[in-house]
Amino acid sequence: MRTHKTWVEIDTRALLNNYDALCAVLGKERVAPVLKANAYGHGDEIVCQALPAVARLCVQDVWEAERLLSYGYRGIVLVMGGQLPSLLQGGFQDKGNLPANIELTAGDFQFLQAWCQAKYKPKLHLKFDTGMGRQGFSPDDAPRVAAAVAPFKSHIVGVSSHFADAGDTFSPKYPTYQMERFAAVCRVMRDAGLVFQQHHAASAAALLLPSSRHDFCRIGISLYGFWTTATAKTMYAKQNKTVPTLKPILSWRAVLIAVRQLPAGSYIGYGCNYCTTRATKIAILPVGYFDGYPRQASGSYAYVLVRGKRCPILGVVCMNMLVIDVAHLEGVQVGDIATLIGTDGEECLAAEQLAAWANTISYDITTRLHPSMPRQIVKHL
């Protein structure tokens, strides 16, 4: 018996297809899957266990790395996010050290100082801000960083940066500027005698700028079957003869918990901002913005799929429910399965479509799918 009325389905075969396609383009050893944010909402456990034995996974924070290890993963986990000095002081040292395969990122001198003073030093990646305006040392500080870590050279395993605009523009000008700054930083670090893995690219740069691939690429969105932007795909197709087939691997479904008849002139939902113009059959889905359905999709042309047909959302999306129009469906009944993302019959409703209705991007849709919804592996016949 199903107790959950809404769930997420993961096609692990499509995941492996994406992984193989990316390995073919980038080189197998360069693909470092990013499993932060619950594997972009797909479920970190399913994704971690479905992937082949990769050398390195990337997450944002330490607790996410610990989760991956709890699933039995034994490779390296790179924690990309910034940490507080307190991680390396007091409690952390008392409670025992981080597992040796968890590597941290330093992007500021406060944390770096704490690391230099710490008795136990987790392996470290030094991150430089070459133009993202977010985390990282200034490239001008490269000599100072190199000097600070000089006594602990063997613990420095990586030097990294991040692109701001690799997939959004047809001009490589800004990414090229970032690559030049990064190259200069790495030169300083190598001249100081450091030996490290150099990594700069996420999905967009990895696919579009071969010279950004370096030792490995931190691959998130494309592993999950999405192009960073439509522009990125167009650019890739222009540059290359063939485009890797990236397939979305996630579907989101829910059962209809009620089907009702409403007379003409009935309001639907909070704010009374929808009113039926004729007698209508509606259905209720046990899904709302709590579960990750964007409230911003209300009042747009948003629809879900039932029995292979588009069913428009009526009124505003509630916290735990939404109302759909099923007047055009023969025999629709409680227990029928609605598709909020994914394929039903001939129709396919992409996460990007939902993102467009909500005026956002696919990342923002999938990462918000609530972790309380079960993630199930799709069974292939």
Catalytic (active-site) positions: 36, 270
- Piece of 93-101, 185-193, 201-209, 289-297 that binds ligand PLP (CB under 6 A): 201-209
d(CA 120, CA 97): 7
Query: Is 22 a binder of ligand PLP (CB under 6 A)?
Result: no
Sheet holding 197-199, edge to edge: 56-59, 76-79, 102-106, 124-127, 156-160, 197-199
CB of 124 to ligand PLP, least distance (A): 15
Q: Which of 38, 198, 228, 366 binds ligand PLP (CB under 6 A)?
A: 228
d(CA 331, CA 345): 16
- Strands of 227-374 (E only): list them: 250-255, 258-262, 280-285, 303-306, 309-314, 322-325, 337-344, 347-349
Of 130 and 203, which CB lies nearer to ligand PLP in the complex structure? 203
d(CA 19, CA 206): 13
Of 202 and 313, which CB lies nearer to ligand PLP in the complex structure? 202
Query: Is 162 a binder of ligand PLP (CB under 6 A)?
Result: yes
Ordered DSSP codes for 257-286? -EEEEE-TT-B-SGGG--B-SS-EEEEEES
Query: Is 106 a binder of ligand PLP (CB under 6 A)?
Result: no
CB of 339 to ligand PLP, least distance (A): 24
Residues of span 169-198 touching ligand PLP by CB under 6 A: none
CA distances from 188 to 157, 159, 185 (A): 15, 11, 5
Of 203 and 339, which CB lies nearer to ligand PLP in the complex structure? 203
How many helices and strands in the chain, by DSSP H and E? 12, 18
CB of 329 to ligand PLP, least distance (A): 37
Of 178 and 298, which CB lies nearer to ligand PLP in the complex structure? 178
CB of 340 to ligand PLP, least distance (A): 22
CB of 205 to ligand PLP, least distance (A): 9
Of 226 and 303, which CB lies nearer to ligand PLP in the complex structure? 226
Q: Which of 220, 269, 294, 342 binds ligand PLP (CB under 6 A)?
A: 220
d(CA 372, CA 321): 16
Which string of b and e fits 93-119 if b means at least 16 CB within 10 Å? eeeeebeebbbbbbbbeebbebbbebe
Crossing angle of helices 142-149 and 109-117, in 10° steps, is: 10
Query: Is 213 a binder of ligand PLP (CB under 6 A)?
Result: no
- How long, in residues, is the chain? 381
Q: Which of 146, 149, 221, 302 binds ligand PLP (CB under 6 A)?
A: 221
d(CA 281, CA 283): 7
Ordered DSSP codes for 125-157? EEEB-SSSSSSSB-GGGHHHHHHHHGGGGGGEE
Record the tokens describing residue 64, joined without a space: 């996410």
Residue among 82, 32, 80, 23 nearest 57 (CA): 32
CB of 323 to ligand PLP, least distance (A): 33
Residue nearest to ligand PLP (CB): 220
Of 125 and 253, which CB lies nearer to ligand PLP in the complex structure? 125
Residues of span 39-98 touching ligand PLP by CB under 6 A: 80
Residues in contact with ligand PLP, counted by CB under 6 A, come to a total of: 12
Of 203 and 298, which CB lies nearer to ligand PLP in the complex structure? 203
340, 8 in Cβ contact below 8 A?
no
Residue among 331, 223, 224 nearest 283 (CA): 331
Query: Is 218 a binder of ligand PLP (CB under 6 A)?
Result: yes
- Piece of 13-21, 212-220, 277-285, 329-337 that binds ligand PLP (CB under 6 A): 212-220
Q: Which of 203, 212, 251, 366 binds ligand PLP (CB under 6 A)?
A: 203
CB of 258 to ligand PLP, least distance (A): 38
Of 230 and 319, which CB lies nearer to ligand PLP in the complex structure? 230
d(CA 191, CA 143): 10
Query: Is 34 a binder of ligand PLP (CB under 6 A)?
Result: yes
Interface residue list for ligand PLP (CB under 6 A): 34, 36, 80, 162, 202-204, 218-221, 228
